[in-house]
Amino acid sequence: MGRPQLLLPLCASVSLLGGLTFGYELAVISGALLPLQLDFGLSCSEQELLVGSLLLGALLASLVGGVLIDQYGRKRAILGSNLVLLAGSLSLGLAGSLAWLVLGRLAAGFAISLSSMACCIYVSELVGPRQRGVLVSLYEAGVTAGILLSYALNYALAGAPWGWRHMFSWAAAPALLQSLSLLYLPAGTAETAAPKDLVPLQGGGTSKPGPARPRSSLLDLFRARENMRGRTAVGLGLVIFQQLTGQPNVLSYASTIFQAVGFRGGSSAVLASVGLGAVKVLATLTAMGLVDRAGRRALLLAGCALMALSVSGIGLVSFAVPMASGPSCLAVPNATRLSGLPGDSGLPRAMAPPPPPTTSENQGRPASSTSETIQPPPGAGDPTAPALPALSPASPAPPPAPERVLLHWAALVCLMVFVSAFSFGFGPVTWLVLSEIYPAEIRGRAFAFCNSFNWASNLLVSLSFLDLIGTIGLSWTFLLYGLTAVLGLGFIYVFVPETKGQSLAEIDQLFQRRRFALSFGPRQSSAGIPYTRIEVAAAS
């Protein structure tokens, strides 16, 4: 590198810009879909195809990205993903048909998924134990900042001619800046303090490094050797419980809750998107400050417990004050609809009636504020019922009683707590733990394997949401998410170890010593263990 003092700021920029690109690409469709619907006359299925193509590309990257990361290296994988992203942005910015739009979204989804895996692994390997938690969590902070940035640009470009082309094209900016930062960083741990070069001194003596590990394959993730089966259980458990708690689907009711407490028109759009987005940023920044002090395990336990309480609170409130849940095939995905923009009626333009006089009731409807998933497809509920804007109040109602106003505010508080709990718990810490628990030679494939389950369970939870509401009702659905969070809390308590302050080599030894990854007591800190650098060649 030539300038070791630049390692931390450059790693921070790689992590932040990678997350910024990820969040921007996920949420940019919020402002682009409505003008695209007008310009291309998109049907319901075509809108769903355009939105879902990003998830499809991301799922594909999670299936093959691990091999690319392990075979070609983390740095090359990130640079390659940025090239794919530039190609996708070019396809989207110049698209003249739906096919080019879908192709561009597929490329963008593949790129951000591959980059997200490679960034977390790359940064975790380059920096020491004391900085790893902050710098890897910085990626999640970049994601939330990217979502906010997309909302701001969507609003600024909403009235511009061909504004959606500019929205898609701006995604290339953080990717280019990240590529510039990578040029000044080493290719990988071989050029820095690789864990295999650090050998603990026991009683002042020097021990030789152990024999090289055999070449690993994906099947090794399910073998008892080196407790790989236990590591895989921890990784899969975290990503699956992260989705089964229903975080994306719960946030799809943000607009209904905001309107219920009296925020209507353009102000509710700002609160539902920017307001909740700001809460996510603040909670993620809080996690960055605590992850290396309180520890990964403590943040996961606290976040999951708060999620269980808050989502159950929303379910209990909805028993007393029912919330509208009218689905529509024209529904825009979570965080992919930013209403209240100039000229927006709050209805999809393909079905909007002739424009009536502008009033506070029809000027705009709020948007959901998350970007992790898409709305379920049509088909749930009564197929003969007319299509309604998704998750919007059915009709104007007289002013509610004071006790109902109080319950609406309670639901809003629960929603804020839920968002915050996810953003300092499951949100950043899951990916930090995944980047730490696997051996270096299989880390890329293992991370990608768990990530594929993350995208698949995301899709499963989204597609089953409306059917679940139709079967057991909205309140019981939220309570079921609360029960799942309780189960996740038990899983974390029993199986997820504390890894703060430990090198990657020490974490590897921690898992090898334990048949199951139990962690009830305090861990030995690496601060008191002396290390010396030896030449690997000298061991031969």
Q: Which residues contact 368 (CB under 8 A, 6 or more apart)?
A: 251, 252, 253, 254, 255, 272, 334, 335, 337, 391
pLDDT attached to residue 94? 92
Task: For residue range 243-281, list pLDDT tens digits in order.
Answer: 899 887 776 666 666 666 666 655 555 556 667 778 888
CB atoms within 10 A of CB 30: 28
Q: Residue 165 has what pLDDT? A: 92
Tell me the pTM: 0.68
- pLDDT of res. 335: 36
pLDDT of residue 350: 35
**276-290 and 426-434 are packed helices; what angle lies between their axes, rounded to 10 degrees?**
40
Domain ranges (residues) in the chain:
1-188
Extract the residue ranges of the chain whose pLDDT is less than 50.
Answer: 1-2, 190-211, 326-397, 517-540
Give, for 199, the enclosing helix (H) or strand (E): strand 198-200
How far is the C-alpha of 427 from the C-alpha of 496, rounded, in Å? 16
Decide yes or no: CATH 1.20.1250.20 for domain 1-188: yes
Cβ within 8 Å of residue 488, ≥6 positions away: 237, 241, 244, 245, 304
Classify 114 as helix, strand or coil. helix
